[in-house]
Chains A and B, each alone.
Chain A
Amino acid sequence: MFAMENYHRATDLNDAVRALAAHPEARVLAGGTDVLIRLREGDGAFAHLVDINGLDELRQIDMDTSGTIRIGALATCTRIIEHEIIRSHLPVIAASLATIGGPQIRNIATMGGNICNGAVSADSACALLILDTELVIQGPAGERTVPILGFHTGPGRTILRRDEILKYFLFRPGQYRGIGAAYCKYAMRSAMDIATIGCGAALRMEGDIITSLKLAFTVAAPTPVRCPRTEEAAAGRRLDEETLALLAGIVEDDVQPRTSWRAERDFRMHIIRTLVQRVTREAANQQGGN
């Protein structure tokens, strides 16, 4: 038995928002792979639940005529990974989600839950950051659209208010067309493990010159982060060993890894320097296909 004290099965999105507004202690339940674990551990913060798991209106994956791609907050990792639109246009999203847990977890876990959970290790975070994804959020007073950059405010914390629900992710064609992108998760085991460091890069090139680099890390700071100093230094430079070595030095100013039982700070910094070079190269290799 899960240690629930209150349970409301939402009939639609408005009903869910109303239930959250009426019960300030209530939390959203999506795929439950984070929430139900907390309940197992007896975390009272999740004893009052508004269950949105059955809301098909939040599961859509589609593309409009302008090329904007929408992924519903409740789309499961497996469905996103296997979807034709995602495979063709957002392969870095599919690649990132494929590193989460094992098959049974990916069959249930949602990308909305991965990002709303606020974990600093969330495997979808780097890809969402380098694509400058927009999040559409529903609250009692209506909806608002916010950039992913700034969504996370601290470990386990986001800008979501208690009575707000993430509806979907938006990917604009200007962000994903013509880029090469890659994600690398460094973990102790090749499956069923949380990232020690995650790194994502999106690259635009003209010949062998970098016109723009977007770089993101997880577990390298209190929230998933972009790397503005490294990105600025990369623009206009030739993609070669010298540039990569330069970026590996600058990135130290963009991150603040810390020591935990998983890894020492210095070891994390070493991985970060290594991944900047590896993932930027990999992103360059991915360019052309989108």
Chain B
Amino acid sequence: MQQLPITLRINGRAYSMDVDVRTSLLELLRGLGFTSVKEGCGVGECGACTVLVDGVAVDSCLYLAVWADKRAIRTVEGECADGRLSPVQEAYIEEGAVQCGFCTPGLVMTTTSFLEQRENTPLTREEIARGHAGNLCRCTGYQTIIRAVQRAADKQRRSGRR
């Protein structure tokens, strides 16, 4: 099957390769070792495969790898810098919002883009729930996740960084 050349950045690092046009971004990323990107449903329902493409949260299972050409991808692997977790990751741990952890990388990326787009705007529970409606978690019951998002937003406001 047809191969197309693409160049992209993943977590800040440049990659160039030929990809089979049938490949999803999920398959490409997992193939390169970014195994935080999980396949839960493969049909856009669960959000376990959420990554950021130029800062925008997408389900990588429903995204062609060739569409990532010339774009910047972020996965959870890139969120901790110099061994330090991101404020969102810290907040998930502090609120106990992680049980089996399968949904966590996708949720962390959803929260990350959600908060980057709403810097310094007060958040209601309602908005947080709506902003995370594309991610399923079968363990936590969501209360701890909503608290984690609120906590991450507070951290962001206090520190002035994301």
Contact = CB atoms under 8 A, between A and B. Distances in A.
Contact of B44 (A7, A51, A78, A104): A104
A103 B110 contact: yes
19 contacts: A1-B20, A2-B23, A2-B64, A3-B22, A4-B21, A9-B21, A32-B62, A32-B63, A40-B42, A102-B133, A103-B110, A104-B57, A104-B59, A105-B44, A105-B59, A108-B59, A108-B63, A192-B133, A192-B134
Interface string A90-117: 0000000000011111011000000000
Contact of A40 (B43, B50, B63): B43
Interface string B31-75: 000000000001111010010000011110011101100000000
Interface residues of B, number: 32
Interface in A203-245: none
Interface of A: 1-4, 7, 9, 32-33, 36-37, 40, 51, 53-54, 78, 101-105, 107-108, 190-192
Interface of B: 1-2, 4, 20-24, 27, 42-45, 47, 50, 56-59, 62-64, 66-67, 110, 114, 130-135
Contact of B47 (A40, A54, A104): A104
Query: What's the dominant secondary structure at chain A's contact region?
Result: loop
B22 A107 contact: no
Contacts of B2: 7
Given A2-B23, A105-B134, A190-B133, 11 more contacts: A2-B22, A2-B64, A4-B21, A32-B62, A36-B24, A53-B67, A101-B44, A102-B47, A107-B56, A107-B58, A192-B133
* Listed residue (B2, B4, B21, B132) with the most chain A CB atoms within 10 angstroms of its CB: B21
B13 to A, nearest CB: 24
B66 A9 contact: yes
Contacts of A1: 20, 22-24, 27
A105 to B, nearest CB: 6
